[in-house]
Amino acid sequence: MNKQTIRHLIEPEDFTIEELNEVVALGKKMYEAPEKYKEACKGKILATLFYEPSTRTRFSFETAMLRLGGSIIGFSDANTSSVSKGESIADTIRCMSAYADIAVMRHPKEGAPKLASHYASIPIINGGDGGHQHPTQTLTDLLTIKMYKDTIEGHNVAFCGDLKFGRTVHSLIRTLARYNTKKFILISPEELTLPDTLKRTLKEDFHVELQEARYIEDVISQIDILYMTRIQRERFFNEADYARLKDSYLLNQSKLSHAKKDMIVMHPLPRVNEIAYDVDDDPRGVYFKQAELGVYVRMALITKLLGVDVSC
């Protein structure tokens, strides 16, 4: 691949709205008829470079590439690679560029996938970098919203939980603002509110109204899409703060009884103690479907970044 023309996905802004729409639409087509694409990436190799734990992101990427007829290599524990010997990201990625056609990287340090993209001669996808960005979760979320709500724009969206460290929130809220969402409800403990810089961008660049709330109960009746998140234990500086905040929110049937009948509850997963099991059977709880849809939108993304023709 020509280094100059390679596309990476490091943050959602790397794609225009038209491109996001294109990936979401293709993801929907792939969900509806996956067998049509079973040879689309025959002979291609995806590398999964996971320096931080993952279940859905890594496995859905691997499943996506396998469903496209390609192959996978990679590590899910950097200690089993030469990283444990002190190898730099730059050197690792230069070599992986010779072994694979495309790579997804998750890293605890913000900016690591961006750095990797400077040294790569293959497309690099950010699979989550610290508390920063998680663009492929955003694609998954956009497809989920499209499937359940028909349009991505025009809904009353609330984010609940760890808005400070939650990278899925940071990526999705900016993207929904780009889709012209003009108001968000932010439900979090005082210590875990959305970072000030992000709030400023939303207000000044996108003219968005931010309504802050402390309890789900106070606002649930207004919400169309409730995006729940886990308190990000691994990003806390001390365990005592985590212990104090970890059970701040639990969505259950009793709270849901005050919600709209067509509200949807999303969650990037894993849940820890934010959604009671009694919500799982409620048609409004769409988080497992959301995780499933992640495979198809990642199939669409892989074909886009590889420049594979899927016009079948």
Active site residues: 56-57, 85, 106, 134
Report the C-alpha gap between 14 and 169 in whole angstroms: 17
Q: Is 256 annotated as a binding residue?
A: no
Report the C-alpha gap between 204 and 228 in whole angstroms: 25
- Please report how close the Cβ of residue 207 comes to ligand NCD at its closest, in angstroms: 28
Binding residue for ligand NCD (CB under 6 A) from 134, 155, 199, 304? 134
Single-letter amino acid, residue 242? Y
Binding residue for ligand NCD (CB under 6 A) from 44, 48, 57, 223? 57
- What angle is formed at CA 270 by the lines to CA 127 and CA 102, rounded to 5 degrees? 20
44 vs 132 by CB, closer to ligand NCD: 132
40 vs 103 by CB, closer to ligand NCD: 103
- Please report how close the Cβ of residue 186 comes to ligand NCD at its closest, in angstroms: 17
Q: Is 134 annotated as a binding residue?
A: yes
Q: Under the criterion CB under 6 A, does residue 167 sit at the interface with ligand NCD?
A: yes
Q: Closest Cα to residue 285, out of 119, 124, 144, 134?
A: 144
48 vs 57 by CB, closer to ligand NCD: 57
Place of tokens 């100059």: 4
Single-letter amino acid, residue 111? G
Report the C-alpha gap between 118 and 115 in whole angstroms: 5
Binding residue for ligand NCD (CB under 6 A) from 269, 297, 302, 306? 269
Q: Is 106 annotated as a binding residue?
A: yes
Q: Under the criterion CB under 6 A, does residue 133 sit at the interface with ligand NCD?
A: no
- Please report how close the Cβ of residue 128 comes to ligand NCD at its closest, in angstroms: 5
40 vs 275 by CB, closer to ligand NCD: 275
- Please report how close the Cβ of residue 132 comes to ligand NCD at its closest, in angstroms: 10
Between the alpha carbon of residue 288 and those of residues 130, 159, 181, 268, the distances in Å are 24, 18, 25, 9
The string of DSSP codes covering 116-157 is HHHH-SS-EEEEEETTTB-HHHHHHHHHHHHHHHS-SSS--E
The β-bridge relationship of strands 102-107 and 45-50 is parallel
Q: Binding site for L-aspartate, residues?
A: 85, 167, 230
Q: Binding site for carbamoyl phosphate, residues?
A: 56-57, 106, 134, 137, 269-270
- Binding footprint of ligand NCD on the chain (CB under 6 A): 56-57, 128, 134, 137, 167-168, 230, 268-269
